[in-house]
Structure 1
Amino acid sequence: MQEIERKYLVLSEDFKKESFKNFSIKQGFLNTDPERTVRLRITGDQAFLTIKGKTSKNGLTRFEWEKKIDKKDAEALFDLCEPGIIEKTRYLVKVGDFVCEIDEFRGENKGLIVAEIELKKETDTFKKPGWLGEEVTGDIKYYNSQLSQNPYKNW
């Protein structure tokens, strides 16, 4: 399956008033090779194993495969993850016909807030909310796999 998304920095916490849902996420990486990342994620009582391929040249598209796994298995697999566990709160906000996922990072990435809008096709457009700032699509330093290795606090 192809994932098409745009990524932005968030200017203010105004999005929280528009959020229809939020939840905590803990994730680690079994592999952070740019050609293929293997991510482990726990959200509430659910866990997922995700494999992402190399990003296209414009930074918008890449292969993504995800499988739900047992939470106990996921907790055990965290022992095999590379150093740098990511913890964040994800907020969901409706933006036109799309859902914007806004991640407010904790721990070593505290202070960083990034929004992602998953599109159906690369040419899709939407009205940009006032709290959405600079586009960072394709800038690898904002990939969670990179934030696990070089956290925001070190920038």
Structure 2
Amino acid sequence: MRYEVERKFMVAHAGWRERAVSRRRLTDGLVGEFPGGKVRVRLDEEQAWITVKGRRDGLARPEFEYEIPRADAEAMLGLVCETCLIEKTRHCVPHDGMEWVVDEYGGALAGMVLAEVELEHEGQPLVLPDWIGREITADARFRQSTLLRLAREAGRPVTLTEVVAARL
């Protein structure tokens, strides 16, 4: 069993752009949620996955990820996840021996830019790039399901200022 250990951050400025080494477009769909976890389907230009994420314990959570046929992912996105879609361009940005990802959201979350980094273990030292802002790892307002709900309630993409001001 694999455990995902990740930290998430706001992005302070666009200095990451000049350091990005790759990018890919992703579409995520929320298949379902349960207390402390979720099931997601993800599609990029070449592959498709289904992922089950369990309850978080500190920074770690169990993660089960399986490649699935592209046609199955497209069907799930269209039939099961139609109101829970996340569109984003994921940029890979190396820094201090680690691979950071910066997600630029589109669709219902257009304009949102967030960063994350996966760690080998919770105590792993981390050197933050200068373009990193406030940490949001434990902030429920920045869960993708919450961001989508806020956008649906607003009837338009939500801004970072609105998310920060949101009361859950």
TM-score normalised to structure 1 length: 0.92
> Match for 1:138: what amino acid?
A
Relative contact order (alpha carbons < 8 A, sep ≥ 6): 1 or 2 greater? Answer: 1
Aligned to 2:75: 76
| Structure 1 position 148, deviation (Å) | 2.6
CA contact (8 A) 1:31 1:82 kept: no
Secondary structure of residue in 2 paired with 1:150: helix
Q: Between 137-146 and 4-13, report the one with greater CA deviation.
A: 137-146
CA contact (8 A) 1:90 1:103 kept: yes
Superposition pairs for residues 101-116 of structure 1, below 5 Å?
Answer: 101-116=101-116
> Match for 1:7: what amino acid?
K
The ranges of structure 1 where at least 4 consecutive aligned residues each deviate by more than 6 angstroms after the TM superposition are none
Aligned to 1:67: 66
Looking at structure 2, the residues matched to 143 and 95 of structure 1 have their Cα atoms a distance apart, in angstroms, of 24
| Structure 1 position 6, deviation (Å) | 0.8
Between Structure 1 and Structure 2, which shows a larger proportion of helix residues? 2
Unaligned runs of 5+ in 2: 152-156, 163-168
Superposition pairs for residues 5-154 of structure 1, below 5 Å?
Answer: 5-56=6-57, 58=58, 60-78=59-77, 79-81=79-81, 83-151=83-151, 153=158
Aligned to 2:166: none
Q: How many residues align?
A: 153
Looking at structure 1, the residues matched to 89 and 75 of structure 2 have their Cα atoms a distance apart, in angstroms, of 22
Q: CA RMSD in A?
A: 1.5
TM-score normalised to structure 2 length: 0.85
| Structure 1 position 63, deviation (Å) | 0.7
Looking at structure 1, the residues matched to 122 and 17 of structure 2 have their Cα atoms a distance apart, in angstroms, of 27
> Match for 1:107: what amino acid?
G
Secondary structure of residue in 2 paired with 1:125: coil
| Structure 1 position 137, deviation (Å) | 0.9
CA contact (8 A) 1:30 1:82 kept: no
| Structure 1 position 82, deviation (Å) | 5.9
Looking at structure 2, the residues matched to 66 and 100 of structure 1 have their Cα atoms a distance apart, in angstroms, of 20
Secondary structure of residue in 1 paired with 2:125: coil
> Match for 1:142: what amino acid?
F
> Match for 2:23: what amino acid?
N
Looking at structure 2, the residues matched to 146 and 43 of structure 1 have their Cα atoms a distance apart, in angstroms, of 22
> Match for 2:40: what amino acid?
R
